[in-house]
Amino acid sequence: MSRVAVTSRSFSRHPVLRAELLEKYPEVTFNDAGAKLSGAALIDFLRGHARAITALETLDDALFAALPELKVVSKYGVGIDMIDTAAMRRRGVRLGWTKGVNRRSVSELTIAFAIALLRHVPAARDEVLTGTWRQHVGRQLSDRAVGIVGCGHVGKDLARLLRAFGCRVLAHDIRDFPEFYAETGVEPVSLDVLLATADVVTLHLPLDDSTRGILNADRLDRMRPEAILVNTARGGLVDETEVKRRLKDGRLAAAAFDVFAVEPPEDRELLRLSNFLVSPHIGGSAEEAILAMGRAAIAGLDDHYDPDPNFS
């Protein structure tokens, strides 16, 4: 029976997932120390294991070269931008990964962010805590124009949920989904049109060379001053410094980020802005999503494939 290493701290702490994994694989090394593993420490943790369940750890060619015994990596979570899939294929390591298992968790958080910002909830709460009691006049999400950048599993799920609010939904993606657009009434548009039109712009993209910094200063300037920006996808998609400047001078009404280029984020000035809402990468942290991702990762130890070298 293969030895399995679990690098994920949240998986290692979860009693149901631990029990279900141990039932299939009795020899498991969990990350019970709760260490944030990287580099040499990650290699040492994985050494001697044929299979691994990983989460946000970076798996590069140097790691696979140092661990010839590692034959299967199963991903706990939905993104694989932290894994060098081309190196995996060269080294003969197979990938277990199920797409979109946490989509409802992320799309619900996105809606929560949008409503909170439209109704000025963060600013109102801060005022109450400092002794100020006054009404904030906000806007409803209902009937607003929402622009979804990236119409994959989460983007599609979000679009369906927004129908209940009567929203006009715009979508931009490098791929075309004509049947989905026809079914849901979503309007496929260019990124420029989406940014110039939407009351709420929300990102649902992987992070790779084509998407890194996709919302730079020039594209942020195309957003309307009363618009809000939500990022529950990946840090690195947005120029955080430019977002801060626009939140401070009124060129952007509000923003909410669950993810950052560096986590935890270091820009305390940004985090303290009254029109900025922050959470600590909790998009997929609903209990239902954790179970779904964990069970998909357990299944991936046996149900795996040669990764696409062009997808990393």
Give the start-to-end residue ranges of the domains of the chain: 4-101+287-300, 103-278
Strand residue runs (E) in the chain: 4-6, 28-30, 51-54, 72-75, 94-96, 145-149, 168-172, 187-188, 200-203, 228-231, 254-257, 276-278
What are the residues facing 188 on neighbouring strands? Answer: 171
The residue annotated as part of the active site, out of 18, 245, 281, 295, is 281
Residue of 153, 234, 246, 304 marked active site: 234
Q: Is the pLDDT of residue 49 over 70?
A: yes
| Coil, helix or strand at residue 23 | helix
- Rounded to two decimals, what is the model's pTM? 0.85
Confidence class for position 171, pLDDT limits 50, 70, 90: very high
Please confirm, yes or no, whether 47 is among the known catalytic residues.
Answer: no
The phi, psi pair for 166, rounded to 5°, reads 70, 25
pLDDT at residue 265 tops 90: yes
Record: fold of 4-101+287-300:
Rossmann fold (3.40.50)
263 is catalytic: yes
Give CATH for domain 103-278. 3.40.50.720
Is residue 312 over pLDDT 50? no
Pairing, β 168-172 against β 187-188? parallel
Annotated catalytic, 172?
A: no
User: Do 4-101+287-300 and 103-278 share a fold?
Assistant: yes
Amino acid at 190: S
Q: Which of 69, 226, 263, 287 is catalytic?
A: 263
pLDDT at 311: 47
pLDDT digits 0-9 by tens, 137-153: 999 999 999 999 999 99
DSSP 8-state code for residue 163: G
Beta bridge partners of 52: 5, 73
Q: Is the per-residue pLDDT at 225 higher than 70? A: yes
End-to-end CA distance of the chain: 30
What pLDDT, on the 0 to 100 scale, is given for residue 208? 87
